[in-house]
Structure 1
Amino acid sequence: MKKVTAIFDIGKTNKKFFLFDADYQEVYREYTTFDTIVDEDGHPTEDLKSLQDWLKNVFDRILKSEKYNITAINFSTYGASLVHLDEQGEVVTPLYNYTKPLDKKVIDSFFEKYGPEEKIAVTTGSSNDGMLNSGMQLYWLKHTKPAVFKKIKYSLHLPQYISYIFTGIPISEYTSIGCHSSLWDFSKKDYHDWVYAEEFHKILPPIVSTETSINLNYNGKRIKIGVGIHDSSAALLPYVRSIKKKFILVSTGTWSIALNPFSEKLLTKEDIDKNCINYMRINGKPVKSARLFLGNEYTLQVKEMAEFFGVSEDYHKSVKFNNDTYFEIVKDMDPIFKWKGFTTKQMPKKTNIHYDNFEHAYHHLMTELVLLQVESIKIAAGDEPIEKLYIDGGFSDNDVYIKLLSHYLRNMELRTTDSSLGSALGAAIAISDSKLNSKFLKKNYSLKKHVPFIIK
């Protein structure tokens, strides 16, 4: 029987289960999705019961397999989500969705008590994002549903709740606490004073290192069970463990997040104003992170461009970088796109495409978006001299994006990686004792180096 590590990687849409061998090669995978249910206010939310049943069923089935010998299991999930348990370990409330709108009165009352907002943001590394701050979820629950709140014995972040399903042991760990939760004071390296004032420390279980594992007999088998990890921190872990020099990792998708795990300084007011927040490494150190709603904007703009030029919605996928096209459009380039998901000072009042073909308009769009991406990377770097840049996620195989990025950041060594397993692999590494070497990314992540194009 092959010795394997089992990982549950729980995304908002896809729920995934993986088995990795000792060399972190995937040997088995299984996916599922669930329909959302609604909370008491009719807002869509995770079907926690279906998720729990699936976790148990999959794991019990694989344990009985004659092919694999599971020696360890860990869990990676999305953040900003809390599961509240009563004295009997029963779930007290729905898993409130971080997209649920939060009453402005609740937010205002919080900042009246503990503000000013700017100071809270700087010390906790969290902008004011309503339910996307898990600390605000607790505050909202206590002050709008006091009878429900009184029943809570423990509040667990989602990765730790999934670990709890298997161990029955309630715990907290750094990566979930430090992910824009407004709970953590990065200057004190402890919960913020407001958390103690509200007595939330009494329902937040003891904090352990993310690398902690619990050895348990599970259905007659001795298994090492991890405490779970927040998915963004998990995706960063293989890079931190295998690269010796300082780097920025840009994780691209709906959001493009530039992660700097080497920043020693607290965030400033300017950082917060530029959409910077902190994530946390598994050892409690901050990760300065600059967010850009890049993938979302890209999707909306290329859809509109496809209609404008009368081409198929997928046409943009076939466009490759063209030197001549690029040099033609940058001669007298002014912004022509009005952004839909954010605003910038330079953007026009409405989109004004003056090209007669899709390729030119696309190169113009990508140049504008990449210049915003460059700015975001520079914000994450701050005044750190960082020479290495890694791009993973959806844009890592967008030829125009990569060529332009390597052109505008010629002082950085740009490499792309290709791993749809990012957070799952990170969760496997978090509970492993093995050391990673510099060849790890090449072997497991299809690491590619990119050289800037020659300037005419």
Structure 2
Amino acid sequence: MVSVIAIFDIGKTNKKFFLFNEDYKIVEESSKTFTEIEDEDGFPCENLQVLSKWVRNTLSEYLQDSTYDIKAINFSAYGASFVHLDRENNIVTPLYNYLKPYPIEIEKQFYDIHGTKEAISLTTASPALGNLNSGLQLYALKYHRPEIFSRIAASLHLPQYMSFLISGKHYADITSIGCHTALWDFTTGNYHDWVFKEGIDKKMPPLFPGTDVIDIVYNNKPLKCGVGLHDSSSAFIPYIKHVNEPFLLISTGTWCISMNAFNNTPLTQSELENDCLCYMTYEGATVKSSRLMAGYAHEIVVKKLSDYFGTELNYFEKIAFDKNLIRKEPPLKDLTSFDVSAYASYEEAYMNFIKQIVLAQKASTDLVINNTIKKLFVDGGFAKNEVYMQLLADAYPHIEVYAASVSQASAIGAAMVLHRHWNRFELSNNMINLRRFHAASAFD
């Protein structure tokens, strides 16, 4: 039997399951997408019941497979999402969508009582983002739906709920608590005062170290069960483990997140207003970061391009970099407003759209980059995009720019933190595949 670790990697769109062997090679992989349902206000949200059933059934299926000996299990999942459980571990509310508008009157009440947006944001390293500040979701329940709030015995962020499904244990994790939740005071290293004043701390399970495991038996099989990690922090782990000099990682997907663990300056008001925040590593270190919703914009504009020029949706994958097609144009304030009809061909339009993305990306990354950074890594979808990578190298001619391929970075990060609990071998040094891009003077 092959010794493996099982990882569930839960994204907003794709839900993935992996088995990694002791060399961190994927030996089994499956992916699902589930149709969203609606919460009580008619807003789209995750179908938690279907997701939960899939997680349990998938694990049970592979535990019965005589090919593999599953030694351990861990989870990575998107943040800003709470699952609220009552004393009998019944789910109390839908998994509210963090994009749902936050009640204006509740928001005003919160900041009137507990301090200005600026003050709360600075101490919690969380831009004021309504439901994206998951702590405020609990605050809204307390005053908007007090009868539901009173039923909550434990509020688990989604990665920790995934762990609970298998372990039956309630825990919190610093990568989820410390990620734009408005719950954690980065100046004191504890929950913010407002959390205690509102009794929110009583809904928070004890913090559990990300490198530790819960010893469990599931379907008669002993397992080392991790507590789960926020996916952005998890994707950072292979780089922390293997890169020995100061670097910045742009993790690309729906959000493109520039992550710099080598910038110790406190967040400023200006940075917060420009969508900077701090993440936490699994060891509790601060990662100063900035966010740009470039992957979402790419999805919108690629559809516009396909409709306008009559191509298949993924035609952009065939386009080679051509600096002669690039125009000198001012940056767009809204990437999704890109006018595809202003160009003679799909190729020209796409090249100039990616130039706009990279202009926005540089503005975002510049907020957190500093002089210590020698290397810039890009992982995720845009790392495979030649046009994006070439233009980014042009934007940073004095820094080494690499397309980095870590196969399923957030999943492999969740596996790596439990390495000592299940793996007999030393951690490999060759998990990151790198391709360097050199400046071609196209960016001016």
Q: Tell me, in whole angstroms, the C-alpha distance in 2 between the residues paired with 1:53 and 1:302.
A: 34
**CA distance change for structure 1 residues 296 and 210 in 2, over 3 Å: closer, same or farther?**
same
Superposition deviation, residue 302 in structure 1: 4.1
* Residue in 1 that maps onto 2:216: 216
Q: Are the equivalent residues in 1 in contact too, given 2:331–2:359 (CA < 8 A)?
A: no
Q: Which amino acid aligns with 2:329?
A: D
- Counterpart residue identity of residue 77, structure 2: T
Aligned to 2:415: 428
Change (3 A) 1:3 1:273: same
Cα-to-partner distance string for 1:27-80 (whole Å, 9 max, x where unaligned): 011222222222222222222222222222111121111111010001111111
State the TM-score, normalizing by the size of structure 1.
Answer: 0.90
Q: Which residue of 2 aligns with 1:63?
A: 63
Deviation readout 1:299-357 (Å, 9 max, x if unpaired): 3334445555565554433221124444xx3xxx2328563558xxxxxxx95966544
Deviations 1:144-165 (A, max 9, x none): 1111111111111111111112
Structure 2 Cα separation of the partners of residues 455 and 21 of structure 1: 43
Contact persistence 2:271–2:367 (CA under 8 A): yes
Asked if structure 2 preserves the Cα contact closer than 8 Å seen for 1:293 and 1:341, the reply is no
Superposition pairs for residues 5-404 of structure 1, below 5 Å? 5-305=5-305, 313-326=313-326, 329=327, 333-335=328-330, 339-341=334-336, 351=339, 355-381=343-369, 383-404=370-391
Match of 1:347 in 2: none
In the TM superposition, residue 438 of structure 1 has moved relative to its aligned partner by 4.0
**SS of corresponding position for 1:172:** coil
1:410 aligned to 2:403?
Answer: no
How many angstroms does 1:226 deviate by? Answer: 0.5
Deviation of 1:126 (Å): 0.9
> Relative to 1, partners in 2 of residues 1:437 and 1:42: Cα closer, same or farther, differing over 3 Å?
same
User: Is the Cα–Cα contact under 8 Å of residues 155 and 205 in structure 2 kept in the other structure?
Assistant: yes
TM-score normalized with structure 2 length: 0.93
Q: Which amino acid aligns with 1:7?
A: I
Aligned length: 439
Distance 1:39 1:306, change over 3 A: closer
Which moved further from structure 2: 188-197 or 283-292? Answer: 283-292
Provide the rounded CA distance (Å) in 1 between the counterparts of 2:212 and 2:385: 38
| Unpaired runs of at least 5, structure 1 | 343-349
Local SS of the residue matching 1:126: coil
SS of the residue aligned with 2:387?
Answer: helix
Are the aligned partners of 1:263 and 1:384 in contact in 2 as well (CA < 8 Å)? no
Tell whether the 8 Å contact from 1:16 to 1:32 is kept in structure 2 after alignment: yes
CA distance in 2, matches of 1:341, 1:352: 10
In structure 2, C-alpha distance between the alignment counterparts of 1:395 and 1:11, rounded to whole Å: 17
* SS of match in other structure, 2:100: coil
3-state SS, counterpart of residue 257 of structure 2: strand
Matches within 5 A, 1:435-450: 436=427, 438-442=429-433, 447-450=434-437
Give the letter aligned to residue 377 of structure 1.
T
1:346 aligns with: none
CA distance in 1, matches of 2:428, 2:243: 8
Distance 1:56 1:325, change over 3 A: closer
> Quick one: structure 1 residues 251 and 65, their matched pair in 2 at CA, closer, same or farther if it must change by over 3 Å?
same
- Seen in structure 2, the aligned counterparts of structure 1 residues 67 and 274 have a Cα distance that, compared at 3 Å, is same
The Cα shift of 1:285 comes to 1.4
Are the structure 2 counterparts of residues 403 and 60 from structure 1 closer, same or farther at C-alpha, using a change threshold of 3 Å? Answer: same
Report the AA paired with residue 56 of structure 1: R
Give the partner amino acid of 2:60: D
- Encode CA deviations 1:267-287: one digit per residue, 9 max, x unaligned: 110111221111111011121
Structure 2 residue ranges without an equivalent (≥5):
none
Q: In the superposition, relative to structure 1, how do residues 406 and 113 fare at CA in structure 2: closer, same or farther (>3 Å)?
A: same
CA distance in 2, matches of 1:186, 1:228: 21
Check 1:118–1:435 CA distance in 2 against 1; reply closer, same or farther (3 A cut). farther
CA offsets per residue over residues 163-198 of structure 1, 9 Å max, x none? 112222211110010111000111111111111111
Equivalent-residue separation in structure 2 for 1:358 and 1:223 (angstroms):
52
Contact 2:419 2:427 in 1 (8 A): no
* 1:367 shift after superposition: 2.4
User: Residue 72 of structure 1 contacts residue 225 of structure 1 at CA under 8 Å; is this kept in 2?
Assistant: yes
Residues 322, 170 of structure 1: alpha-carbon distance in 2 compared, 3 angstrom cutoff? same
More displaced, 107-116 or 260-269? 260-269
CA spacing shift, 1:352–1:21, aligned 2, 3 Å: closer
- The answer on whether the counterparts of 1:336 and 1:352 sit within 8 Å (CA) in structure 2 is no
Alignment check: 8 A CA contact 1:338 1:351 kept? no
Q: Does the 8 Å contact 2:262/2:372 carry over to 1?
A: no
Deviation of the 1:251 alpha carbon: 1.1
Asked if 2 retains the 8 angstrom alpha-carbon contact of 1:337 and 1:351, the reply is no
Is the 2:253–2:295 contact (alpha carbons within 8 Å) kept by the matching residues of 1?
A: yes
CA RMSD across the alignment: 2.2
- Segment of structure 1 superposing worse, 430-439 or 64-73: 430-439
Residues 175 and 282 in structure 1, CA contact (< 8 A), matched pair in contact too: yes
Give the distance between the partners of 1:6 and 1:253, measured in 2 at CA: 23
